[in-house]
Amino acid sequence: MNTHKSSLLARDAKAVWHPFTQHGIPSRLLTASRAEGCYIYDADSNRYTDLISSWWVSIHGHSHPAVVEAISKQAATLDHVLFAGATHEPAVQLAEVLLEMAGMTAGKVFYSDDGSTAVEVAIKMALQFHSNQGDIRERIIAFSGGYHGDTFGAMTLGRSSHFFDKFPSTALDVQFLDVPEVWEGLDDEDADNLAIAQFEEMISDGKCAAVIFEPLVQGAGGMKFHSGRLLQGVVDAAKRHGVLVIADEIMTGFRRTGKIFATDWLETSVDILCLSKGLSGGMLPLAVTLAQGYIYDAFLGETFDRALAHGHSYTGNPIACAGALASMKLVNDPQTAATCDALTATLRREFLPLGERFGQLEHARVIGGIAAIDIKPGLIEYGSSVSRSMQEFYLDRGLVLRPVGRTIYLMPPYAIDEAEIIRACEIIGESVRTFL
């Protein structure tokens, strides 16, 4: 180990508290020194293939020249301004682009900093939307097993994921809807219809303000897939009962599921859309909550008590918005669509057969650029020593790949080389033989 790397690790151990980490258990850190495309390089110049887009954010690959150029140019022009009393070109232009992409051209964009805050904004919008019209609805329905962030409101929505068992519930009244999973070879229409009927019964008393879900794929909860048919049924029922529909597309947005938004698979528009992660191309913290025009109109009035009292110091940061504009230009490029289609084909060809090759694995599934497979129950649990050992096994072979609980998944940058997917699948097979 070189001197700089050793020093960095020692200083980290002394000063840093890492996310989702049990520091009482020794674990290996990747000493990232630079990154380019789908690769991250450590302090010894070893190369690692980033198969999870660095927590699902680097959709175009690391240090994409177009995004770097946009950020650099903006930083030298206007770095930041209080957005509560000012405006600027990057924020306005980005809002216009996002509303057009989402088919919400009569709507409005509210800026925040990350996925959790985008969800918090959405929940405030939904509750106050009804309150401002004299209709007190305080219940939120979320899909069981979902995950919407780590702030307290978002934690309550994701309580059924069991990430937050140590914390008390907030004042939010949340109920959970069990939804059927789907995978290759399983698509149960009867189960979907039963869940839709259950949802309609839950909202029939007129006290539900909104339903929130991660469309088609629940990310941190274990890359659980559900059907578009289920989603459409839930949305239709919500519309019939005046329940607002909030789509948390923090992870699924910007072509992750094969379309620009996962909700593009639906026939009906949602009321509120939460976006982050790939929004800035993985360069800077940025999030948005898109609301339909009728949502915004309910907050208009001559007194402040009808306004949305929410904001962040870096709301609408010009540098982040400039980077996001460059990222969205790439998302909308037909070449990106073709690249994503090619990635889907590769994942289906190389990843899906893992379920047939290994009896220890089950429920192989692919949608867009997301591939996942489960280790059979009882063989591994979230945060177990086996899980940590598998992570280090992958790292030793040059892969940044972190199983979520008993789920092994790939969510690489779109432009990853096909050979890297093939190599990753071979190493996953090797890990199954070694640890399971």
With beta carbons less than 8 A apart as the criterion, state whether 413 and 331 touch: no
- Arithmetic mean of pLDDT, 370-391: 86
The CATH architecture that domain 67-331 belongs to is 3-Layer(aba) Sandwich (3.40)
Q: Cβ(52)–Cβ(281) under 8 Å? A: no
Binned at pLDDT 50, 70 and 90, residue 366 comes out as very high
What is the bridge-based pairing of β-strands 272-275 and 244-248?
parallel
Alpha-carbon distance values, 190 to 186, 195, 363 (Å)? 12, 9, 19
Contact call for residues 152 and 170 (beta carbons, < 8 A): yes
- The pLDDT score that the predictor gives to residue 384 is 74
- Range in 12-26, 101-115, 139-153, 208-222 with the lowest mean pLDDT: 139-153
Q: What's the pLDDT at 246? A: 98
pLDDT one-digit tens code per residue, 116-133: 999 999 999 999 999 999
Put the strands of the sheet holding 370-375 in their side by side order. Answer: 361-367, 370-375, 407-410
What is the model's pLDDT at position 155?
60
Residue 135's pLDDT band, with cuts at 50, 70 and 90, is very high
Give residue 383's pLDDT.
64
Percent of the chain with pLDDT over 90: 84
The residue extents of the domains of the chain are 3-63+334-435, 67-331
Does 171 have pLDDT greater than 70?
Answer: no
Write down the pLDDT at residue 4.
82
pLDDT higher than 90, residue 164 = no
* pLDDT value at residue 74: 98
Specify the range with the lowest mean pLDDT, choosing from 157-171, 252-266, 294-308: 157-171
Confidence (pLDDT) at 170: 65
Residue 158's pLDDT is what? 57
- DSSP-assigned states of every residue in 310-377: ---TTTT-HHHHHHHHHHHHHHTSHHHHHHHHHHHHHHHHHTTTHHHH-TTEEEEEEETTEEEEEEPT
Residue 57 amino acid letter = V
Is residue 156 within 8 A of residue 169, CB to CB? The reply is yes
For residue 355, pLDDT over 60 is answered with: yes
pLDDT at 1: 62
| Ramachandran angles phi, psi of 74, nearest 5° | -70, -40
Helices 228-240 and 189-203: crossing angle, nearest 10°? 20
pLDDT value for 387: 85
Exposure on the CB side of residue 9, measured as CA atoms within 13 A: 15
- CATH number belonging to domain 3-63+334-435: 3.90.1150.10
Q: Give the SS3 label for residue 153.
A: helix
What pLDDT was estimated at residue 325?
A: 98
Structure tokens at 142: 């979320």
Euclidean distance between CA atoms 409 and 52, whole angstroms: 8
Q: What's this model's pTM, rounded to 2 decimal places? A: 0.94
